[in-house]
Structure 1
Amino acid sequence: MDPHELARLYRSSTKFQLDVAAVVPLDVLCLFFGFHPIFRTNRILKYRSFFEFNHRLESIMDKAYIYRVARTAGCLLFALHVNACIYYWASDRQGIGTTRWVYNGQGNMYLRCYYWAVRSLITIGGLPEPQTLFEIVFQLLNFFLGVFVFSSLIGQMRDIIGAATAAQSNFRASLDRTVTFMNASSIPRPVQARVRTWYAYTWDAQRMLDEADLLEALPAAMQAALAVDMNFSILSNIDLFKGCDTQMLHDLLLRLRSTIYLPGDFVCRKGEVGREMYIVKQGQLWVLGGADAAQVLATLTAGTVFGELSLLAATGSRRTASVMAQGFAHLLALDRKALRETLAHYPDSEKLLLEKARALLRETAPASAATSPTQGLASLFPPRPDT
């Protein structure tokens, strides 16, 4: 951002030399020799600014492929314009209207030459046969150039459209493989319908199947920055992690696993062994109880957390209630192994969580059947070896 450093770098670059040559006022020669476009050809040396403009504009656009399609179409129109100008030059050299192949001088000269350039460069055909050696050589070179230019533009269009629809193509391929597997395995139709619904909602919600696949291509620092922007406000407001080291929370964010549940899906059931905790990012869930798990005990909304005992209690702790998605729900899951590996580098946060774990276990576990908090946490935080 230092203007002096930027100026020094710019003056020492090739771009500066080309820019200086491009602004040399050769137009003044028109005062002595008359107007000729050749005196303005040095302006083309600014071509680097065109590519730099395209690069910077694409980097800030949400749908850059739309601009790329328009730019490719513009390049095609410009190539046709140049070809029309060259054809008029060739006609003028041969003599306007001297043969059937050259421009006959009738009608709008630009439109007539542009029409010839379109039919010639795109190799549509139907043009008058060249008569002289110059016309034959010119037409052959124009046909070869047309094949090269047109094939290059078609390839660019294919790449642009392919890049724009790559995510959707991967999604459809994954869905097709899953449907083929379910049909081959004779999966019941209701289950297949729920699988298709999950695919459709996941695509509509986030335009990808797994956010982790996108983040894996980025450096660790950028992954952490994105994770902080997306989920740090949720994780920092959880009572369990309040007061913990901020960097520890940043590391935990990279361990969170995103999961989407359909309406009626059970996130966990009463009595099953718990291995992870959940954070509600979007949607609502019901906490069910009673003899047949039909009574709604509570409603969990965005920002709430449940399943903390699965992280803090001993291995083999069971769920005390069932949790079911009321509608489409987006959850973040954190398992015991990820928390243990993270806390190994943050002893102060580990000590704080131990204290909160003892208090939480005393509140939730019956006094007669409860395991000692220190023993219950031994499997989560094993003693450290001597240094």
Structure 2
Amino acid sequence: QDRLSQLVGLFKDRTEHKKDKLLDPDESEEEGSSPSTSDHIKGVIFLCLTDLIYVIWLFFVVTAWNWNMWLIPVRWAFPYQTPENIHLWLLIDLTCDLIYVTDILVFQPRLQFVRGGDIVVSKWGGEYIYVYIYTHKNLSLCPPPPFCFQYMVFNEFNDRMEAVMKKAYIYRVIRTSTYLLYSLHINACLFYWGSAYEGLGSTKWVYNGKGNAYIRCYYFAVKTLITIGGLPDPTTVFEIIFQMINYFVGVFAFSIMIGQMRDVVAAATAGENYYRSCMDSTVKYMNSYNIPREVQNRIKTWYDFTWKSQGMLDEQELLVQLPVKMKLDVAVDVNYAIISKVALFQGCDRQMIFDMLTRLKSVVYLPGDFVCKKGEIGREMYIIKQGEVQVVGGPDLQTVFVTIKAGSVFGEISLLAGGGGNRRTANVKAHGFANLFILDKKDLADILVHYPESQKLLRRKKADDKNLDKVEVIPPKSESPKLFRAALKVAEQAGIEGAFAKLRKACK
């Protein structure tokens, strides 16, 4: 009866809770979730999976796990564990078990994990320990040691190493090679066990008991799994079955290893293969249309320099899959220090500057390429990221008036010109290889629609200095002094020829 009364009370409480939730969902959810959330998170140490400290700890756990995975088969098959040295083996085993228990009780319960989109951390690791104990009890009457459950940590360590390494493909090659060596290691242990089962030296096929047992058995495993051949023929049924299984496993294992190695190499060279494919397609196109050799060489040079300097042909392709917020974070870190120095945009809304950063395009110019020419309609602003550009003039456009270095900006007033834009007032060409950021006029107009105050500020700056974008490459010639002109006139009237007359002709 007491149990029945308790159940009735629980049903009443549940009914009241559902009723309150229907009347005011927001308030009921807040009241129901706040206490458990605060109790749940309070006092918990959060460890990020890419944290260096956690990766170092995983290294120790994986080292202990590899010790057991490599040495347990050796101790089982070879007579290396003796009563004289068993205390050393047990000491190392206990040390490894201590690392496993520390990982289970200290580190794993304090990791963040996602459930239904929420970051969840169990204060005492109850869920993790319960799963471990439940699995531990149901595997067998004699539970296996803790290292059997650390294979997940091994996979996690591989993922973390690839995340923190700059060249992850190197680690993938090492890991794949280790898989191959481990398969040979297991085969060597099995061969010694089979030889001991048949009797050491009983036939020509088994190990004869001479020399280093592990090295000789490993040599047998290499020749068998790689199917080199040259081994004695098996004589007994056991030896024949063992050798057949070896051959089948060798073919299957090595086909997997070769496939994995091919995938690793393909992933490591995917970017370079894409670059080569683009260049080959471009060269094929130019040859089909008989493009001049000089132009082809410049295009090849552009491909080569762009790839070597950036590691990619288009920076936008790298960020196309990122969310808008992450694209903005990358753009701020890369470009904000440069764009913030532009006097035209100082005082504008900070968010407008951030939006502008995502619209910048990186373009590489070869030595001698013209960035803009005098008389062209200005539709872009240029920011020098790397290299130098020169303002040139003269009849052959070889006279250098100004050299603009990295971090400088030119052409910014062209973005604000109305009525179809204003014309460039100078010729600008790249001096050496130059990497420029370009901001298009249309992109700026789309941004300013959402920032009217910044738009007014930019128009006011343009009205205050209409000639900000004009580069005065040759100053006007100053007028000759009156006394000097009078002296020239007297010299002419007196018929004096010489220095004064020549000087007069030069001043005309």
Q: Normalising to structure 1: TM-score of the pair?
A: 0.84
Aligned counterpart, 1:12: 127
Aligned counterpart, 2:423: 318
Residue 3 (structure 1) aligned to one of 37, 45, 48: 45
Matched residue type, 1:76: L
1:73 maps onto 2:115 in alignment: no
Q: Within 2, Cα distance between the matches of 1:335 and 1:299? A: 23
Change (3 A) 1:362 1:118: closer
Cα shift at 1:201:
0.9
Q: For 1:125, what is the secondary structure of its paired residue?
A: coil
Q: Within 2, Cα distance between the matches of 1:274 and 1:182? A: 30
Matched residue type, 1:17: Y
Contact 2:411–2:469 (CA under 8 A) maintained in structure 1: no
Greater RCO between the two (CA within 8 Å, min separation 6)? 1
- Once the two structures are superposed, residues 14-35 of structure 1 have per-residue CA deviations (whole angstroms, 9 ceiling, x without a partner) of 79728996xxxxxxx9xxxxxx
Cα shift at 1:363:
5.7
Q: Normalising to structure 2: TM-score of the pair?
A: 0.65
Change (3 A) 1:364 1:237: closer
Contact 1:311–1:335 (CA under 8 A) maintained in structure 2: yes
1:50 maps onto 2:178 in alignment: no
Residue 349 (structure 1) aligned to one of 449, 454, 458: 454
Contact 1:15–1:48 (CA under 8 A) maintained in structure 2: no
Q: Which runs of 5+ in 1 are unaligned?
A: 22-28, 30-38, 366-387
1:243 maps onto 2:347 in alignment: yes
Contact 1:267–1:324 (CA under 8 A) maintained in structure 2: yes
Residue 389 (structure 2) aligned to one of 266, 285, 301: 285
1:268 maps onto 2:310 in alignment: no
Q: For 1:97, what is the secondary structure of its paired residue?
A: coil
> Which 10-residue stretch deviates more, 249-258 or 60-69?
60-69
Aligned counterpart, 1:369: none
Q: Within 2, Cα distance between the matches of 1:297 and 1:91? A: 87
Aligned length: 350
Change (3 A) 1:217 1:339: same
Q: Within 1, Cα distance between the matches of 2:251 and 2:130? A: 32
Q: Within 2, Cα distance between the matches of 1:283 and 1:115? A: 58
Matched residue type, 2:45: P
1:60 maps onto 2:175 in alignment: no
Cα shift at 1:209:
0.7
Change (3 A) 1:133 1:263: same
Aligned counterpart, 1:153: 257
Cα shift at 1:101:
2.1
Contact 1:287–1:323 (CA under 8 A) maintained in structure 2: yes
Q: Within 2, Cα distance between the matches of 1:174 and 1:310? A: 34
Residue 109 (structure 1) aligned to one of 210, 213, 237: 213
Q: For 2:200, what is the secondary structure of its paired residue?
A: coil
1:141 maps onto 2:245 in alignment: yes
Contact 1:58–1:64 (CA under 8 A) maintained in structure 2: yes
Alignment of 1:82-101 (within 5 A): 82-101=186-205
> Which 10-residue stretch deviates more, 88-97 or 264-273?
88-97
Aligned counterpart, 1:204: 308
Aligned counterpart, 1:173: 277
Cα shift at 1:364:
6.2
1:191 maps onto 2:291 in alignment: no
Give aligned-pair identity as a percent.
Answer: 52
Q: Within 1, Cα distance between the matches of 2:458 and 2:378? A: 18
Change (3 A) 1:60 1:265: same
- Once the two structures are superposed, residues 29-68 of structure 1 have per-residue CA deviations (whole angstroms, 9 ceiling, x without a partner) of 9xxxxxxxxx986534322222222221221111121122
Q: For 1:243, what is the secondary structure of its paired residue?
A: coil
Q: Within 1, Cα distance between the matches of 2:289 and 2:404? A: 36
Q: Within 2, Cα distance between the matches of 1:299 and 1:323? A: 9
- Once the two structures are superposed, residues 71-110 of structure 1 have per-residue CA deviations (whole angstroms, 9 ceiling, x without a partner) of 2112211111111001111111122222222212222211
Aligned counterpart, 1:36: none
Q: Within 2, Cα distance between the matches of 1:221 and 1:124? A: 56
Change (3 A) 1:246 1:364: closer
Change (3 A) 1:280 1:15: farther
Q: For 2:337, what is the secondary structure of its paired residue?
A: helix
Q: For 1:296, what is the secondary structure of its paired residue?
A: strand
Change (3 A) 1:364 1:181: closer
Aligned counterpart, 2:233: 129
Q: Within 2, Cα distance between the matches of 1:139 and 1:364? A: 83
Aligned counterpart, 2:440: 335
Choose 1 or 2 for highest CA Rg: 2
Q: Within 1, Cα distance between the matches of 2:406 and 2:375? A: 25
Q: For 1:327, what is the secondary structure of its paired residue?
A: strand
Change (3 A) 1:19 1:342: farther
Q: Within 1, Cα distance between the matches of 2:183 and 2:323? A: 41
Matched residue type, 2:127: S
Aligned counterpart, 2:464: 359
Q: Within 2, Cα distance between the matches of 1:142 and 1:41? A: 29
Matched residue type, 2:431: Q
Q: Over the residues paired in the alignment, what is the CA RMSD in angstroms? A: 2.5
Cα shift at 1:291:
5.0
Structure 1 stretches of 4+ with a deviation exceeding 6 A read none
Cα shift at 1:292:
4.6
